[in-house]
Amino acid sequence: MTSPSRLLGACAAPAVAFFAAFWLLPVVRLFALPADKGWATYFAVLTDSRYLHSLLNTLGLSLVVTLATLLLGGLVGITLARSRFAAKPLLLSLLTLPLSFPGVIIGFFIILLGGRQGLVADLTEWLGLGRTTFAYGLTGLFLGYLYFSLPRAIATYTAAASTMDGQLEEAARSLGASRWRVAKDVWIPELTQTTIACGAIVFATSMGAFGTAFTLASKFEVLPITLYNEFTNYANFALAASLSITLGIITWLSLFLARHAAGPAAAGA
């Protein structure tokens, strides 16, 4: 070992030691734990219909949320990148503010909108339709997940769309391309990388989202809540470990695949 590399080793040593002790070692134990209860525990999420149901719920919800987020975030991002008005920087910073909110706050927001005392209940009562509530069901979860995903998508798409090549679009237009053709042939290809990267992050975050679902104490069971219940209510550690492994592998894999499909743009998990 030469001197410079020893120096670098010494620089990295504290972080390596910390990470090994407080993440690697615990995770290795987490992986080993389900084996105590028999190898089948690893596959409980696939073999037990209750867990499988929860997994499919979570996958479906995350997928739909990702698609909705990409569509809305993309459209808003392109609009904001193209338009000029005085309040734009303020609007953009307000729209990205929720990035730093914990999931519980977003759950509470959904309760303010769709709970028993919510805004929508007041509105529908005023319209003579009775008090409509949606906070604690699938709709509430969907809107909550959408709420925490949109800021990232809006920020990413606004940045990506403002660096798009305007000449290409101009050329397409001057050749008589309709707006829809421009969108299809110019916008979508130029934003593909952004879409893959952002979609993977949104999907992974939705799969693992706990705070929002926890606040909404949902009737619609998602995997993080199932996992939490197994651990705290039933003290079923091996099973909770097995569910965490499943969840962790899915989120990691989606980010990993996106990174390899989209290149370095997706690294910002």
Partner 1 sequence: MAHPRQLPFLLPAITALVSVFMLAPIALSVLAGLVNNYSTGLASGLTLRWISEVLDVYGSTVSASLLLALLSVVGCLLLGVPCAYALARSRSRWARLFEELLTLPVAVPGLATALALILAYGQLRDFRQSFVFILVGHLVFTLPFMVRTVGAAFRRHELLALEEAARSLGANFGQRFMGVLVPAVLPAIVAGSLMVFTLSVGEFNLTWMLHTPLTRTLPVGLADSYASMRIEIGSAYTLVFLLVILPVLWGLQWLGHLIEKRNG
Residues 212-251 that bind partner 1 (CB under 8 A): 214-215, 217, 224, 227-228, 231, 237, 240-241, 244-245, 247-248, 251
**5, 49, 167, 233: which one binds partner 1 (CB under 8 A):** 5
Half-sphere exposure of 71 (CA within 13 A, CB side): 7
- Which residues within the stretch 47-106 sit at the binding site for partner 1 (CB under 8 A)? 72, 75-76, 78-80, 83, 91, 93-95, 97-98, 100-105
**41, 57, 65, 109: which one binds partner 1 (CB under 8 A):** 109
Which residue, 71 or 171, has its beta carbon nearer to partner 1? 71
What one-character DSSP code corresponds to residue 233?
T
CB atoms within 10 A of CB 138: 15
Q: What tokens does 51 get?
A: 């867990």
Q: What tokens does 265 get?
A: 């743009």
- In whole angstroms, the minimum distance from the beta carbon of 229 to partner 1 comes to 12
- Which residues within the stretch 9-28 sit at the binding site for partner 1 (CB under 8 A)? 9, 11-12, 14-16, 18-19, 22-27
Number of residues that bind partner 1 (CB under 8 A): 83
Which residue, 8 or 52, has its beta carbon nearer to partner 1? 8
**252, 257, 260, 263: which one binds partner 1 (CB under 8 A):** 252
Q: Is 111 in the site for partner 1 (CB under 8 A)?
A: yes
Which residue, 56 or 267, has its beta carbon nearer to partner 1? 267
- Which residues within the stretch 141-200 sit at the binding site for partner 1 (CB under 8 A)? 143, 147, 150-151, 154, 178-180, 183
- In whole angstroms, the minimum distance from the beta carbon of 247 to partner 1 comes to 5
Handedness of CA 158, 163, 166, 168 (dihedral sign): negative
Residue 193 to residue 22: CA distance in whole angstroms = 34
- In whole angstroms, the minimum distance from the beta carbon of 117 to partner 1 comes to 6
Q: What is the DSSP string of 51-101?
A: HHHHHHHHHHHHHHHHHHHHHHHHHHHHHHHH---TTHHHHHHHHHGGGGS
Q: What is the DSSP string of 115-150?
A: STT-HHHHHHHHTTS-----TTSHHHHHHHHHHHHH
**160, 186, 204, 266: which one binds partner 1 (CB under 8 A):** 204
Q: What tokens does 179 get?
A: 């707006």
Which residue, 204 or 220, has its beta carbon nearer to partner 1? 204
What one-character DSSP code corresponds to residue 216?
T
- In whole angstroms, the minimum distance from the beta carbon of 86 to partner 1 comes to 15
Contact 141, 220 (CB under 8 A): yes
